[in-house]
Structure 1
Amino acid sequence: MRATWRADLIAGAVVAVLLIPQSLAYAMLAGLPPQTGLYASLLPLLAYAALGSSPVLGLGPVAVLALMIAQALAGLPAGVSAEAGALVLAAEVGGLLALAALLRLDALSSLLSVPALRGFENGATLMIAASQVPVLLGSAATGATLPGLALATAQAGVKPLSLAWGVAAIGLLLLSRRAGSRTLARLAPLLLLVAAMGLSALTPAADGVAQVGALPQLALPLALPSLDAALWLQLLPSAALVALMAFVSSLAVSESLAQRRGEKVLPAAELRGLAAANVVASLTGGMPVAGSFSRSILLHEAGSQSRWALVFVAGFMGLAMLMLAGPLAHLPKPVLAATIVVAVLGGFTARHYREAWRYARAEGLLMAAVTAAVLLWSVGAALAIGVVGSIALLIQRTAQPHVARIGRVPGTQHYRNLERHAVECQPEVVGLRIDESLVFTNARGLADVVLAHVRAHRASVGEPRRVLMLMAPVNHIDVSGLTALQELHAALQAEGLRLEFSEVKGPVLDRLKAVGWLERYDVSLYLSHHEGIQAGQHDLRPSLADHDAPGQL
Structure 2
Amino acid sequence: MPSWNRCRSYTEDPSAAVRDLCHGLAVGAVFWPLVIGHAVLAKVPTYVSINTSITSPFVYMALGSLPLLSVQSGSTAALCLGELVAAREAGEAGLADDAAAAAANLASMMAVLVGAMHFAMGIFDLAAVVELFSQPLLRARTGAAALVVMLAQAEVLFDVFLDEKPTSPLLRFGKTCLQLPKQVHWPTFLLSICLLVALILCKMLGWCASGKSPNTNTSRSCRNKAISCCLQSFRVICRLLHSSGNLIVLAVATVVSWHLDGIGPLDGFEEPSARWAFSGWTWQLMSSALPTAVLTAFLSLGSHLTVAQRVRRPQDPWQPRRELLALGASSLAASTLGGMPVMANLAVCQALRSGTGFFATLGSILGHLGAFYLVAKLRLMIPRCAVSVILLVEFAPLLSSLPSELRHLYRQAQSARYGAQSSTLGFLVASDLGIYLMAFLSPLLFGIVNGSMVAILFQVVVSMSRFAGPGYVKIGRVPGTASYDELGPGSAACPIPKISITRPMGPRWFGNAAANTRAARAERRKQKQEILVAIADWRMVPFLDETALAHYKDSWSKVDVKVLVTNACGNVRRQIQESGLAEILQQPEETLADLHAAVLWAEEHVRQVEMSRTVIGLSERVGTTLED
TM-score, structure 2 as length reference: 0.63
1:256 is aligned, of 310, 320, 328, to 310
- Alpha-carbon shift at residue 82 of structure 1 (Å): 1.2
CA distance in 2, matches of 1:433, 1:389: 36
2:201 is aligned, of 175, 199, 205, to 175
> What is the aligned partner in structure 1 of residue 111 from structure 2?
90
1:74 is aligned, of 65, 86, 92, to 86
Secondary structure class of the residue paired with 1:136: helix
CA distance in 1, matches of 2:48, 2:33: 12
> What is the aligned partner in structure 2 of residue 163 from structure 1?
189
Q: 1:432 to 1:187 in 2, by over 3 A?
A: farther
CA distance in 2, matches of 1:42, 1:71: 24
Unaligned 5+ segments in structure 1 are: 407-412, 414-425, 439-464, 477-503, 514-527, 535-553
For residues 498-531 of structure 1, what are the alpha-carbon distances to aligned partners after superposition, in whole Å with 9 as ceiling and x for unaligned? xxxxxx9993596699xxxxxxxxxxxxxx9759
For residues 220-248 of structure 1, what are the alpha-carbon distances to aligned partners after superposition, in whole Å with 9 as ceiling and x for unaligned? 22454643222111111111111111111
- Alpha-carbon shift at residue 52 of structure 1 (Å): 0.9
Q: 1:261 to 1:399 in 2, by over 3 A?
A: same
> What is the aligned partner in structure 1 of residue 407 from structure 2?
354
Aligned residue identity for 2:408: E
> What is the aligned partner in structure 2 of residue 451 from structure 1?
none
Q: 1:143 to 1:467 in 2, by over 3 A?
A: farther
- Alpha-carbon shift at residue 342 of structure 1 (Å): 0.6
> What is the aligned partner in structure 2 of residue 212 from structure 1?
266
2:201 is aligned with 1:144: no
Aligned residue identity for 1:45: P
Secondary structure class of the residue paired with 1:215: coil
Secondary structure class of the residue paired with 2:501: coil
Is the 8 Å Cα contact of residues 143 and 152 (structure 1) preserved in structure 2?
no
1:28 is aligned, of 30, 40, 48, to 40
Q: 1:215 to 1:384 in 2, by over 3 A?
A: closer
- Alpha-carbon shift at residue 326 of structure 1 (Å): 4.8
CA distance in 2, matches of 1:164, 1:5: 45
The within-5 A match list for 1:411-426 is none
Is the 8 Å Cα contact of residues 304 and 344 (structure 2) preserved in structure 1?
yes
2:330 is aligned, of 264, 277, 286, to 277
CA distance in 1, matches of 2:366, 2:84: 31
CA distance in 2, matches of 1:283, 1:386: 33
CA distance in 2, matches of 1:196, 1:46: 32
CA distance in 1, matches of 2:453, 2:17: 43
Secondary structure class of the residue paired with 1:109: helix
2:255 is aligned, of 178, 198, 207, to 198
- Alpha-carbon shift at residue 84 of structure 1 (Å): 1.3
Q: 1:396 to 1:24 in 2, by over 3 A?
A: same
Q: 1:531 to 1:266 in 2, by over 3 A?
A: closer
Unaligned 5+ segments in structure 2 are: 1-9, 96-101, 210-237, 414-427, 506-519, 530-593, 601-628
CA distance in 1, matches of 2:521, 2:75: 47
> What is the aligned partner in structure 2 of residue 539 from structure 1?
none
Q: 1:226 to 1:90 in 2, by over 3 A?
A: farther
Is the 8 Å Cα contact of residues 144 and 443 (structure 2) preserved in structure 1?
yes
CA distance in 2, matches of 1:9, 1:269: 25
CA distance in 2, matches of 1:199, 1:429: 83
Is the 8 Å Cα contact of residues 95 and 279 (structure 1) preserved in structure 2?
yes
- Alpha-carbon shift at residue 392 of structure 1 (Å): 4.5
Aligned residue identity for 2:325: R
CA distance in 1, matches of 2:61, 2:280: 27
2:145 is aligned with 1:124: yes
2:432 is aligned with 1:363: yes
2:502 is aligned with 1:473: yes
Is the 8 Å Cα contact of residues 431 and 467 (structure 1) preserved in structure 2?
no
CA distance in 1, matches of 2:381, 2:54: 23
Is the 8 Å Cα contact of residues 214 and 328 (structure 1) preserved in structure 2?
no
2:77 is aligned with 1:53: no
CA distance in 2, matches of 1:507, 1:116: 31
- Alpha-carbon shift at residue 213 of structure 1 (Å): 4.5
CA distance in 2, matches of 1:122, 1:286: 26
1:186 is aligned, of 243, 247, 256, to 243
1:507 is aligned, of 520, 523, 536, to 523
1:108 is aligned, of 120, 126, 129, to 129
What is the number of equivalent residue pairs in this alignment? 438
Q: 1:172 to 1:266 in 2, by over 3 A?
A: same
Q: 1:307 to 1:391 in 2, by over 3 A?
A: farther
Is the 8 Å Cα contact of residues 29 and 371 (structure 2) preserved in structure 1?
no
- Alpha-carbon shift at residue 19 of structure 1 (Å): 2.9
Is the 8 Å Cα contact of residues 111 and 335 (structure 2) preserved in structure 1?
yes
Secondary structure class of the residue paired with 1:325: helix
> What is the aligned partner in structure 2 of residue 242 from structure 1?
296
Q: 1:193 to 1:469 in 2, by over 3 A?
A: farther
For residues 225-279 of structure 1, what are the alpha-carbon distances to aligned partners after superposition, in whole Å with 9 as ceiling and x for unaligned? 6432221111111111111111111111112322x43322111111111111111
Secondary structure class of the residue paired with 2:66: coil
Q: Identity percentage over the alignment? A: 21
Q: 1:219 to 1:512 in 2, by over 3 A?
A: closer
Is the 8 Å Cα contact of residues 63 and 344 (structure 1) preserved in structure 2?
no
Aligned residue identity for 1:473: T
Q: 1:433 to 1:36 in 2, by over 3 A?
A: same
Is the 8 Å Cα contact of residues 111 and 387 (structure 1) preserved in structure 2?
no
The within-5 A match list for 1:434-473 is 472-473=501-502
CA distance in 1, matches of 2:525, 2:132: 31
Is the 8 Å Cα contact of residues 39 and 220 (structure 1) preserved in structure 2?
yes
- Alpha-carbon shift at residue 166 of structure 1 (Å): 0.9
Is the 8 Å Cα contact of residues 85 and 103 (structure 2) preserved in structure 1?
yes
CA distance in 1, matches of 2:297, 2:522: 39
Aligned residue identity for 2:249: L
Is the 8 Å Cα contact of residues 271 and 377 (structure 2) preserved in structure 1?
no
Aligned residue identity for 1:167: I
CA-atom RMSD, angstroms?
Answer: 3.5
- Alpha-carbon shift at residue 433 of structure 1 (Å): 8.3
CA distance in 1, matches of 2:436, 2:522: 39
- Alpha-carbon shift at residue 317 of structure 1 (Å): 1.9
| Deviation larger for 42-51 or 348-357 | 348-357
> What is the aligned partner in structure 2 of residue 19 from structure 1?
31
CA distance in 1, matches of 2:598, 2:74: 58
CA distance in 2, matches of 1:91, 1:271: 14
Q: 1:472 to 1:332 in 2, by over 3 A?
A: same
Aligned residue identity for 1:507: E
2:343 is aligned with 1:290: yes
Aligned residue identity for 1:193: L
2:394 is aligned with 1:319: no
CA distance in 2, matches of 1:20, 1:328: 16
Is the 8 Å Cα contact of residues 96 and 275 (structure 1) preserved in structure 2?
yes
For residues 43-85 of structure 1, what are the alpha-carbon distances to aligned partners after superposition, in whole Å with 9 as ceiling and x for unaligned? 1111111111112223222223221111122222343421111
> What is the aligned partner in structure 1 of residue 450 from structure 2?
381
> What is the aligned partner in structure 2 of residue 490 from structure 1?
none
> What is the aligned partner in structure 2 of residue 221 from structure 1?
275
> What is the aligned partner in structure 2 of residue 134 from structure 1?
155
| Deviation larger for 17-26 or 393-402 | 393-402
- Alpha-carbon shift at residue 182 of structure 1 (Å): 3.6
Is the 8 Å Cα contact of residues 57 and 254 (structure 1) preserved in structure 2?
yes
CA distance in 1, matches of 2:384, 2:304: 29
Aligned residue identity for 1:151: K
- Alpha-carbon shift at residue 13 of structure 1 (Å): 1.3
For residues 283-319 of structure 1, what are the alpha-carbon distances to aligned partners after superposition, in whole Å with 9 as ceiling and x for unaligned? 112222211222111110xx22223332222222222
Is the 8 Å Cα contact of residues 442 and 455 (structure 2) preserved in structure 1?
no
Q: 1:178 to 1:475 in 2, by over 3 A?
A: same
Secondary structure class of the residue paired with 2:71: strand
